[in-house]
Structure 1
Amino acid sequence: MPAPVERAFDTVADLEHYARWWPDVRHVVGIDDDTARVAIRSSLPYTLHLTLHRTRVDAGARHLLAEIAGDLEGWASWRLTAAADGATTLRYSQEVVTTEPWMNAAGHLLAPAFRLNHRAMMRRGQAGLARHLAFA
């Protein structure tokens, strides 16, 4: 990411403003300082409704961990490190399961489409975050 690690960390830790830079995050409502409800719509014709709750915000270690509930259940983790050129290396990982009955029933058939959709959504998020950080 084209920004100092502190600014990049502050941006990904700010759940309530993901829609500013991530095109697939269509709507966010902050619930409290650590929790937000988000609506996500990517390339496939459905919207995911999730609640994100920050369970770890460690600015010193530059690690954000959030529980995910709703149409998906699990967690997401952001780990950031400063690069030698003043930029930031960001590692995102997540582990989730679907909770929607139709997704569970069709998951084995639609798994390749779900994976492609997720990869496209993550690429748009990465590009959107890079643009946001470059001009913020």
Structure 2
Amino acid sequence: MAAPVARAFETVADLERYATWWPDVRHVVGIDDDTARVAIRSTLPYTLHLTLHRTRVDGDAGHLLAEIAGDLEGWASWRLTAAADGTTTLRYSQEVVTTEPWMNAAGHLLAPVFRLNHRAMMRRGQAGLTDHLTSS
């Protein structure tokens, strides 16, 4: 990303503003300083309702960790590092399980489709974040 780590970290750590740059995040409601409810809809015709709770916000280390609850349960981690040219590398990882009965029942059949849907959502998030950081 063509932005310094501090600026990129500030953007990804601000849960309440995800809908301003991530097209698949349709709605966000802040609960407190570290928690937000989000509605996410990607390519497939269903909306995920999640609660994200920041459990680690370490701008100096470039690490954000959030617990995920709702239609998915688990965690997500954002790690940002500076490159020699002043840009930022962001590594996102997550471990989640589905909690919706229909997803659990169909998961073994639809797992490849769910993964493709997730990849498309993450690509749009990356593009949205890049655009946001370069235009503002």
Measured against the shorter chain, the TM-score band is: over 0.9
Q: Is 1:96 aligned with 2:103?
A: no
User: Per the alignment, in what secondary structure is the counterpart of residue 107 of structure 2?
Assistant: helix
Aligned Cα RMSD in Å?
0.4
> Structure 2 length normalisation: TM-score?
0.99
Runs of 4+ in 1 over 6 A off after TM superposition: none
Q: What amino acid sits opposite 1:64 in the alignment? A: L
- Name the SS for the 2:50 alignment partner: strand
Q: Could you list the per-position Cα deviations for residues 47-76 of structure 1 after superposition, in whole angstroms to 9, with x for gaps in the alignment? A: 000000000001110100000000000000
- State the shift of 1:86 in Å: 1.0
Shift of 1:2: 1.1
The equivalent of 2:68 in structure 1 is 68
Q: Which residue of 2 aligns with 1:35?
A: 35
Structure 2: unaligned runs, 5 residues or longer: none
Task: Report how many residues are paired.
Answer: 136
Residue 133 of structure 2 aligns with which residue? 133
1:71-118 Cα distance to aligned partner (Å, 9 max, x none): 000000000001111110000000000000000000000001000000
Q: Distance in 2 between matches of 1:87 and 1:29?
A: 31
1:20 and 2:26 equivalent?
no
- Cα deviation for residue 33 of structure 1 reads 0.3
Residues of 1 paired with 2:72 and 2:112: CA distance?
17
> Match of 2:127, SS?
helix
Cross-structure match for 2:79: 79
Q: Report the TM-score, using the length of structure 1 for normalisation.
A: 0.99
d(CA) in 2 for partners of 1:61 and 1:83?
A: 14
Post-superposition shift, 1:18? 0.3
